[in-house]
């Protein structure tokens, strides 16, 4: 098994060949160029359809004057776009997801027209995929547009593929942003083309406030040149000295950014200044080829190393040379590489792959950069087993925890037959069954297993379609139905609701259950299976709404509040909630969607129903004798 540990190949060079051999780069660049040069598209976008692929290019000519200056390196939190939650797995206690304020403004100003355009594209049933692209600032806007589209498509269940291709885009978001994209498994939907020396994608590493005015001149120069190569001359030129200062600053800060990574978790001071972080895939292009990678740490390092081979002048000119690079890499694949091989080739496949990557990134003739570049690529090498092996190993682990589950099932059957007639939920909550302790331990073991599964998923250690495999969708669903009631029981047994609010509020519910809800929902969506409600003749073996008990607990709370509430408005509100739950619960029971423990004589639910009946009777009476309200509720008058 030893050779399963680390991946035997380095494929960043091969991936780049794949991307470059497709027509995507050439087509998207052509449209970017069109968006940059046609005045009608400025501050907007152009759209075109090629076959079944819709291309949308955001113009790189977006900024006028001071807006960039004002928001330079300012970040704002991003959680909703057009009222759709963007990321579904934000965790408590983490740095919030932030993006460049100026670019978000730009995006917001475009959103309306972009959305209209997108809906039109998606309405066309012929649309198989969408490519959103942009050069320079247009690239960063394109990333936000793509993000909006991805969250929108997720909400409407669509199988349209989306790819964002940017050229020389500035950085966009912070580390949390990058991590969130990765967790959503969207990193494959972004391909940022960055040329060897282009300073633009690296600019935001550096807090260059003293140079802001020069920066604005530079942006003007770029934007004018994009509109037409001759226009560049119209811009205010910045001096060589200023260029050099800018270059040095970016070099220094991009290096500092990589050091943050090398220090590992304890980033401390470094992370305070480094706000921006690459996300998605980067396709680095040089005159010798291209490499494609998706590790933010490696990307940061490569940005620095590749810039180190350049000069202040070419770092500015390279931002305008993507046309040449695209042209070059789209032909490079056809020729053999032996001639440019100067160094001897190691015999290990992995090391040879590294060597190829170094060559393609154009670092091979800079002896001092080779070692650090290799080190940074090596750091991205997958050291654990491959995703497929991980999934296989998990299947075995699943069978190992299956007895724990089986034991809980057994326990449930036992509870349901007990003399107290309290049922599964209440027996566990009151620990009245002697097996409860054992079951509680099993509950922990299962939780740990499933948490591990989710963590592996988010670290991309599992196959991409893992959460779509029937085996795992079904296993997680039945786990949820069986064990979540116990989690709820434990939550209320410990009285945590008094300090943290109800189980369903404020993220008190374990994240795994929310994930499993999504897996299950996606499954029915995918199979086109309409939730076929073949009528049940007996009660389900497990209550189909795993949060049912949490709802009961809330309803109980409302009932208690009714007793002490005197404000009629609030009272009406409470009654409304109570009645809604009553209807819901009745419906579940009628359809036999609940397990029989819900209806056990002494279950929380049964007791609640009894209380409700009493209270309703009281209310009826109150309508006749409203003045007796307080005394009755205080329990002085027994009806």
Measured from the CB atom, the residue of 133 and 220 that comes closer to other proteins is 133
Instruction: List the interface residues with other proteins, window 470-489 (CB under 8 A).
Output: 470-471
What is the footprint of other proteins within residues 368-407 (CB under 8 A)?
Answer: 382, 386-388, 391-392, 395-396, 398-399, 402-403, 406-407
- Per-residue x/- mask for other proteins, residues 453 to 472, rule CB under 8 A? -------x---x-----xx-
Residue 158 Cβ vs other proteins, minimum distance, rounded to whole Å: 12
Supply the minimum distance, in Å, between the C-beta of residue 293 and other proteins: 8
Within 581-600, which residues bind other proteins (CB under 8 A)? 592
Euclidean distance between CA atoms 525 and 529, whole angstroms: 7
Minimum distance, C-beta of residue 405 to other proteins, in the bound complex (Å): 9
| Interactions with other proteins, residue window 221-280 (CB under 8 A) | none
Distances (CA, A) of 562 to 189, 237, 238, 507, 548: 51, 74, 72, 26, 21
Considering only residues 76, 235, 352, 589, which one is a binding residue for other proteins as defined by CB under 8 A? Answer: 352
Residues contacting residue 407 through CB under 8 Å, at least 6 positions apart: 438, 439, 442
Residues between 16 and 35 that touch other proteins (CB under 8 A): 17-19, 21-24
Q: Which of 64, 85, 119, 341 binds other proteins (CB under 8 A)?
A: 341
> Can you tell me which of 331, 494, 521, 579 binds other proteins, judged by CB under 8 A?
331
Site string for other proteins, 138-177 (x = CB under 8 A): -----------------------xxx--------------
* 167 DSSP β-pair partners: 135, 193
d(CA 53, CA 115): 17
- Write down the least CB distance from residue 479 to other proteins, Å: 13
Decide: helix, strand or coil at residue 61: coil
DSSP 102-144: HHHHHHHHHHHHHHHHHHHHHHSTT--EEEEEEETHHHHHHHH
Which range in 113-121, 128-136, 267-275, 303-311 contacts other proteins by CB under 8 A?
128-136
Please, are residues 1 and 25 in contact by the beta-carbon 8 Å criterion? no
| Cα–Cα distance, 3 to 389 (Å, whole number) | 12
Burial annotation 599-632 (CB, 10 A radius, 16+ → b, else e): ebeebbbbebbebbeebeebeeeeeeeeeeeeeb
Q: Which CB, 108 or 474, lies closer to other proteins?
A: 474
Distances (CA, A) of 572 to 167, 476, 575, 577, 580: 58, 39, 5, 9, 12
Told to check if 342 binds other proteins by CB under 8 A, we report no
The nearer residue to other proteins, 69 or 350, going by C-beta atoms, is 350
Binding residue (CB under 8 A) for other proteins from 2, 40, 156, 334? 334
Q: Which residues contact 372 (CB under 8 A, 6 or more apart)?
A: 301, 305
State the nearest-atom distance from the C-beta of 402 to other proteins, in Å.
Answer: 4
Output the CA–CA distances (angstroms, integers) from residue 198 to 133, 167, 193, 280, in the order listed.
18, 10, 10, 18
Residue 347 interacts with other proteins (CB under 8 A)? yes
What residues from 38 to 67 belong to the interface with other proteins (CB under 8 A)? Answer: 51, 53
Query: Is 319 an annotated catalytic residue?
Result: yes
Which is catalytic among the residues 13, 42, 198, 427?
A: 198
Q: Is residue 553 involved in binding other proteins (CB under 8 A)?
A: no
Provide the greatest CA pair distance for the chain: 100
353 phi and psi angles, rounded to 5 deg = -65, -40
Active-site position among 59, 136, 195, 361: 136
Closer to other proteins by Cβ: residue 121 or 218: 121
Residues 517-546 that bind other proteins (CB under 8 A): 527, 532, 534, 536-541, 544
Give the binding-site size for other proteins (rule: CB under 8 A): 82
The correct pick among 318, 355, 484, 553 for binding other proteins (CB under 8 A) is 355
Which is closer to other proteins, CB of 336 or CB of 368? 336
- Phi first, then psi, for residue 487 (nearest 5°) are -60, -40
State in angstroms the smallest separation of the CB of 381 from other proteins.
Answer: 9
Give the nearer residue to other proteins in terms of CB position, either 143 or 225. Answer: 143
Among positions 92, 264, 266, 336, the unique one binding other proteins when judged by CB under 8 A: 336
Residue 167 or residue 608: which is nearer to other proteins going by CB?
Answer: 167
Q: Residue 228 class from Cβ within 10 Å (0-12 exposed, 13-18 middle, 19+ buried)?
A: exposed
Between 334 and 624, CB nearer to other proteins: 334
DSSP string, 79-113: SEETTEE--S---TTSPPPEEEHHHHHHHHHHHHH
CB 607 within 8 A of CB 552: no
| Number of Cβ within a 10 Å radius of residue 61 | 25
Q: To 10 degrees, the CA torsion angle through 10, 16, 18, 19?
A: 150
Closest CA to 579 of 590, 571, 569, 589: 571
Rounded to a whole number of angstroms, the minimum distance from the CB of residue 97 to other proteins is 19
Shortest reach from residue 529's CB to other proteins, in Å: 8
DSSP-derived pairing of the beta strands 281-286 and 289-293: antiparallel
Catalytic residue among 319, 477, 497, 502: 319
Distance of alpha carbon 548 from alpha carbon 60, whole angstroms? 52
The residue within the footprint of other proteins, chosen from 207, 323, 337, 385 (CB under 8 A), is: 337
Q: Of 292, 303, 326, 488, which lies in the binding site for other proteins, with binding defined by CB under 8 A?
A: 292
For residue 497, what is the enclosing H or E element? helix 496-500
CB within 8 Å of 556: residues ≥ 6 apart: 604, 608, 611
Number of residues written out for the chain: 639
Nearer to other proteins, 10 or 553 (CB): 10
Task: Give the tokens for residue 342.
Answer: 């100067």
For other proteins, give the closer residue by CB, 173 or 232. Answer: 173
Piece of 82-90, 137-145, 186-194, 557-565 that binds other proteins (CB under 8 A): 186-194
Provide, rounded to whole angstroms, the least separation between the CB of residue 355 and other proteins: 8
Smallest separation (angstroms) from other proteins to the CB of 481:
10
Q: Which residues are catalytic?
A: 136, 198, 319
């Amino acid at each position: 098994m030893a050779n399963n540990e680390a991946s035997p190949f380095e494929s960043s060079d091969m991936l780049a060949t794949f991307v470059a051999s497709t027509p995507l780069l050439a087509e998207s660049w052509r449209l970017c160029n069109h968006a940059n040069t046609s005045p009608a598209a400025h501050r907007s976008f152009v759209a075109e359809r090629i076959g079944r692929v819709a291309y949308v290019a955001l113009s790189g000519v977006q900024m006028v004057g001071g807006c960039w200056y004002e928001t330079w390196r300012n970040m704002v939190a991003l959680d909703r776009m057009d009222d759709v939650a963007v990321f579904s797995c934000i965790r408590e206690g983490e740095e919030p997801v932030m993006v460049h304020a100026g670019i978000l403004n730009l995006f917001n100003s475009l959103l309306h027209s972009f959305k209209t355009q997108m809906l039109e594209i998606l309405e066309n049933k012929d649309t198989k995929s969408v490519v959103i692209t942009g050069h320079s600032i247009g690239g960063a806007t394109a990333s936000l547009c793509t993000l909006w589209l991805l969250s929108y498509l997720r909400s409407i269940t669509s199988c349209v593929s989306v790819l964002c291709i940017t050229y020389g885009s500035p950085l966009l978001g912070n580390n949390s942003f990058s991590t969130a994209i990765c967790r959503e498994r969207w990193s494959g939907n972004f391909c940022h083309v960055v040329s060897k020396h282009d300073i633009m994608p690296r600019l935001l590493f550096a807090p260059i406030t003293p140079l802001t005015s020069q920066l604005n001149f530079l942006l003007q120069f770029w934007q004018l040149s994009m509109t037409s190569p001759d226009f560049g001359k119209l811009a205010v030129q910045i001096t060589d000295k200023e260029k050099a200062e800018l270059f040095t600053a970016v070099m220094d800060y991009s290096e500092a950014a990589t050091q943050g990574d090398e220090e590992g978790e304890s980033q401390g001071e470094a992370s305070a200044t480094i706000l921006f972080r690459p996300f998605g895939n980067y396709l680095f292009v040089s005159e010798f080829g291209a490499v494609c990678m998706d590790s933010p740490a490696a990307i940061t390092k490569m940005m620095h190393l590749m810039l180190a081979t350049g000069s202040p002048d070419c770092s500015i000119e390279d931002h305008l040379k993507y046309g040449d690079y695209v042209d070059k890499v789209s032909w490079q694949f056809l020729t053999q590489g032996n001639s440019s091989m100067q160094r001897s080739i190691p015999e290990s496949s992995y090391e040879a792959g590294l060597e190829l990557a170094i060559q393609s990134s154009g670092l091979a003739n800079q002896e001092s950069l080779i070692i650090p570049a290799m080190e940074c690529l090596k750091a991205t090498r997958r050291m654990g087993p491959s995703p497929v092996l991980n999934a296989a190993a998990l299947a075995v682990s699943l069978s190992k925890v299956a007895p724990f589950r089986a034991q809980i099932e057994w326990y449930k059957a036992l509870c349901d037959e007990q003399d107290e007639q309290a049922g599964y939920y209440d027996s566990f909550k009151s620990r009245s069954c002697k097996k409860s302790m054992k079951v509680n331990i099993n509950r922990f073991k299962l939780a740990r297993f499933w948490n591990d599964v989710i963590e592996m998923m988010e670290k991309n250690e599992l196959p991409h379609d893992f959460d779509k495999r029937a085996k795992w969708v079904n296993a997680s669903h039945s786990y949820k139905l069986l064990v979540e009631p116990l989690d709820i029981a434990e939550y209320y047994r410990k009285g945590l609701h008094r300090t943290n609010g109800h189980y369903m509020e404020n993220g008190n519910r374990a994240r795994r259950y929310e994930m499993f809800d999504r897996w299950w929902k996606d499954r029915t969506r995918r199979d086109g299976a309409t939730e076929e409600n073949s009528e049940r003749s007996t009660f389900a073996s497990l209550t189909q709404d795993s949060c049912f008990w949490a709802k009961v607990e809330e309803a109980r709370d409302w009932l208690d509040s009714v007793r002490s509430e005197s404000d009629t408005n609030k009272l009406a509100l409470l009654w409304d909630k109570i009645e809604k739950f009553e209807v819901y619960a009745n419906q579940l029971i009628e359809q036999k969607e609940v397990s029989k423990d819900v209806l056990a004589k002494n279950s929380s639910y049964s007791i609640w129903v009894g209380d409700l009946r009493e209270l309703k009777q009281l209310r009826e009476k109150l309508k006749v004798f409203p003045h007796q309200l307080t005394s009755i509720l205080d329990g002085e008058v027994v009806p």
